């Protein structure tokens, strides 16, 4: 493996709760099938939902989907096409809130599911911070493995942009 330092980001946190193999592949710059319909749909939803809000703020190694400053303060939003993987999305957003907190920025989070017309507030609490510390360590363990974890067939595989890579 090359000598570059591997770092945890919000995308890796999201995929950690879905598929550890995908975490390794993404971190090692093995790109998914960019023509995958689900990848395209996800980009479309992110790009065209919430047109009045600012898009994509980069903090550290993480790119957050939308943000705004309101009377309640700084709010970061994570846009997902469905709530099916809600826990993964919550932890991804918690990671972003943690990154901001480390830089002295207090923020609230909102998970957004535009196709379902739903929002969900996420607040970084002590329990979530402890879980994030555990997840960060586990992700780093995966990243520094010499090879990706073996593929394990899960429901997510049906729509995964790495399906051909893993199962051919």
The answer as to whether 2 is a domain residue is: no
CATH code (residue 118):
3.90.320.10
Rounded alpha-carbon distances, angstroms, from residue 131 to 2, 71, 101: 29, 29, 16
The answer as to whether 1 is a domain residue is: no
The answer as to whether 60 is a domain residue is: yes
> How confident is the model over 41-78, as pLDDT tens digits?
455 555 555 555 556 677 777 777 777 878 878 888 88
> How confident is the model over 107-136, as pLDDT tens digits?
999 998 888 889 999 999 999 999 999 999
Residue-range definition of the domain harbouring residue 147: 10-167
Number of domains in the chain: 1
Global pTM value: 0.82
Query: Is residue 60 packed enough to be buried (19+ CB in 10 Å), middle (13-18) or exposed (0-12)?
Result: middle
Closest by CA position to 113, among listed 63, 49, 161:
49
């Amino acid at each position: 493996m090359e000598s570059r330092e591997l770092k945890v980001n919000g995308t890796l946190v999201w995929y950690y709760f879905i598929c550890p193999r995908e975490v390794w592949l993404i971190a090692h710059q093995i790109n998914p099938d960019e023509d995958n319909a689900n990848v395209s749909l996800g980009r479309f939803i992110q790009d065209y939902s919430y047109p009045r809000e600012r898009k994509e703020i980069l903090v550290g190694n993480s790119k957050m989907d939308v943000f705004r400053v309101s009377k309640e303060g700084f709010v970061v939003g994570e846009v997902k096409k469905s709530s099916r993987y809600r826990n993964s999305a919550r932890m991804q957003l918690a990671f972003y809130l943690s990154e901001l907190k480390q830089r002295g920025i207090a923020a609230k989070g909102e998970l957004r599911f535009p196709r379902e017309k739903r929002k969900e507030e996420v607040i970084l609490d002590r329990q979530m911070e402890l879980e994030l510390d555990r997840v960060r360590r586990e992700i780093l363990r995966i990243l520094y493995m010499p090879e990706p974890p073996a593929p394990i067939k899960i429901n997510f595989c049906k729509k995964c942009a790495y399906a051909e890579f893993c199962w051919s």
